[in-house]
Structure 1
Amino acid sequence: MANPDSNTLKAADFASDSAHEQSQSSLFSVLPGEIRNHIWNYALADYQDETQLYDDATCYKRPDYLAPRKTDTVLLRTCKRIYQEAWFLPWTNAEQTFYLTSDDRRPPKTTTARRMQQTLFAIAKTQTMPVIQHVRVFAQLYILENGARLQEILNLKFFYPKVITITIRHTDWWFWESDDNLRLDATWVDFCRFPNSLTELRVAFESLERKKDQIDDVARQAAQNWIFRRRDDTELSAESCQPEIMKWSGNATWGHRRWVRDETGPNKLDYYVSTITWRAANSKVTDNDESTSSYVAGSRKFPNLSAIGYPQLADDITNVPISVILNADLPLDAPTEDVRRLLEQPSDAEDEDSDDAEEEDNDSGDDENNSEDDDDDEFMDFESDVEQTEYR
């Protein structure tokens, strides 16, 4: 069992200490607790810290994820009674975000299951069991598909999320670099069991705008064929779900390369996202995750998702290294045609090699001509000798 973070423990201990009732304040003597909670929630809402914007040339900068999120906690330092009522809200109200990805596909600082468990233990120490409003998981398929890493998060103690969203981004699909058709193994659908507190599970399928038909296809397959389960064996179904569609545009540069194959404008990609929602049907939401059924993970089999028969984009030039663009003294957002031309036309070195090759060919041709002349001379000498012999 992990030891809770010392700062979180101190906060929990401070919240447990007695405080003045503040009965002289109308905030506590007049306003009911429900109204005060609305005030605390509003004042302690998190927001994007735009003084620390993420680099545009990353695959994790996107709408609502332009920068790290933060919460102003000045309110909690004004009164211990307020602190006791609201100290955990900056954490439970904020969207808790996990990245099940390689290091280069997530921000420098992210939430880990271990650190979240420490915080959950600290909150539980105060006998407070607040529901986390929203958990977001960005997942590459090579980590998501077997379900093990996702289940590590779902197995956290005192973890009571209300909504979980799993987002599969354009660069999370298998072999997106070679424009493969979209596919997703369903092993994790069988394997993962979700907390009993969950009311909605959302899966956001994202790819390029030009692959919207493939996204619609796999999203439809998932909605029709996949059923998720909570620990209490309650099914989450997407029956009658209408996909939620979002479109957005982002930077075409990632991994020190500009992906010109997919550009819709200079250094620009257009994205298409379809989100399917699975909801718990005919169930009583409970925070007691000890309630489980005899269901054995893997006893059911759901079909894999596969977009079959869609044409792949045939293009010899998929991306251009940023170093090539800079060496050509072009701006990073130069027109797509100008950037592609850097790889379509031979470099100066190639031109020199070509000139040298032509000179060698010419020299070789001269040698051949000289050789032919020598042969002619020899033949003429031979004829002369014959004539002289006959004359004799």
Structure 2
Amino acid sequence: MQDCMGAKAEPKFQEITQKGLAIPKREARALRRSLAEIKPENSNSQLQSPLYSILPNEVRNSVFEYAVCQVVNPFSKPETHHARRRPSHELLPVIDTSLLRTCRLVYYETRAIPLRSTTHHRYGDQAISYESEDWDHYLFHLSNQSGQHLYHLHTTVWHIPRFDTHLQQHMHWRRLTWTIYKIFTRFKQVLFPDSCREVNLEFETLRNDPLHQRITRQVADGCRDLPLIRRNNSRIEIDEKYTLEYTWDGLIWQPSDGTTGPGGYVATTYHVTRLCWRVPEPERNYMHYDHWDCLRSEKIKPAPSSYVSDNEGKG
């Protein structure tokens, strides 16, 4: 293809994107502005390419989607950290953005797909720090243009999270998930982005700890009737269809008892109560580019019955 991002811009663009080099803020802003100004009107029409001269727009868009969206990499090394090796997370995801560097027109048509398809994972690792919320994170440095295309943030923590940490004004999430292995008594109300279509709140316990399960269910009962408020004052209501309980098999650290040597990881089964708030619209409207859907897995086993709160059970 011709017009490969402009003859002058291409080498520096490739150097930055391929090597991840740090550049001065002023130069970075200039680069972002130049990329944001790319439009069909100032790009080559590429009619010499069958992608634009023969294929219908719908077919070309599907080709671009499968080439650029986030997918699970079947050739990646298995995830080794026990806290991150969860259902649908056994292998690492990958995004191939090389297509965006072919020409200006392709860049214009595909630049939103990587972010619109990506699930960003955050882990509050208690073995490292209880203050992981304060760590500098690349999400804080996204431009306003990039923030418009954010799709899914999945946060897994072993402490009480600050729910508004990654809900800054420039972060327009479509989907938000918190998986929490910690009992807390009150769900702090926050304002969600106007773009938000789905919020999941998961309470995780050990299946062989019925007391912990009962307490977390009481907490879930206190949260499930709360409407979530977006910045435009619209509400996201609980969706009973997607609210459920399930179990999954994983590992947990077992300390030494003083007689059998050092501690180690042992097999265990986790019990999860998932509350889901959704807007009443088809999933495809906001999950169109999601080719991973990390919240669903064959290794998730539904609990004997769907989620029924203690309050409903008394009726």
TM range (shorter): 0.5 to 0.7
1:155 aligns with 2:176: no
Q: Is the 8 A contact 2:185 2:219 kept in 1?
A: no
Q: Which residue of 2 aligns with 1:55?
A: 80
> Gapped runs of 5+ residues in structure 1?
174-182, 260-265, 286-306, 308-392
- The count of residues paired between Structure 1 and Structure 2 equals 248
Q: Is the 8 A contact 1:237 1:278 kept in 2?
A: yes
Higher RCO, 1 or 2 (CA under 8 Å, sep at least 6)? 2
Task: Give deviations 1:109-160, integer Å, cap 9, x for gaps.
Answer: x997752243233537xxxx43x23221223333x2xx4xx32311241x22
Alpha carbons of structure 1 residues 5 and 100: separation in structure 2 relative to 1, 3 Å:
farther
Q: Is the 8 A contact 1:162 1:198 kept in 2?
A: yes
Matches of 2:111 and 2:228 in 1, distance apart? 34
Q: Secondary structure of the equivalent of 1:277? A: strand
Q: Which residue of 1 aligns with 2:204?
A: 206
Tell me how large the CA RMSD over aligned residues is: 4.0
1:137 aligns with 2:155: yes
1:16 aligns with 2:37: yes
Matches of 1:111 and 1:52 in 2, distance apart? 29
Q: CA deviation at 1:273?
A: 1.7
Q: CA deviation at 1:51?
A: 3.6
From the CA coordinates, give the structure whose radius of gyration is larger: 1
Spell out the pairing of 1:1-392 with structure 2 (5 A cutoff). 10=31, 13-14=34-35, 16-17=37-38, 18-49=42-73, 51-56=76-81, 58-102=82-126, 104=128, 114-121=137-144, 123=146, 129-130=148-149, 132-142=150-160, 144=161, 147=162, 150-157=163-170, 159-168=171-180, 172-173=181-182, 183-188=183-188, 190=189, 192-211=190-209, 213-214=213-214, 217-218=217-218, 221-222=221-222, 224-238=224-238, 240-241=240-241, 243-253=243-253, 257=255, 267-280=266-279
Matches of 2:48 and 2:215 in 1, distance apart? 59
Alpha carbons of structure 1 residues 215 and 134: separation in structure 2 relative to 1, 3 Å:
farther
Q: CA deviation at 1:197?
A: 0.9
Q: Which residue of 1 aligns with 2:12?
A: none
TM-score (norm: length of structure 1) = 0.52
> Gapped runs of 5+ residues in structure 2?
1-23, 258-264, 286-309, 311-315
AA in 2 matched with 1:209: R
Q: Secondary structure of the equivalent of 2:47? A: coil
Q: CA deviation at 1:247?
A: 2.3
Percent of pairs with identical residues: 19
AA in 1 matched with 2:153: V
Q: Secondary structure of the equivalent of 1:153? A: coil
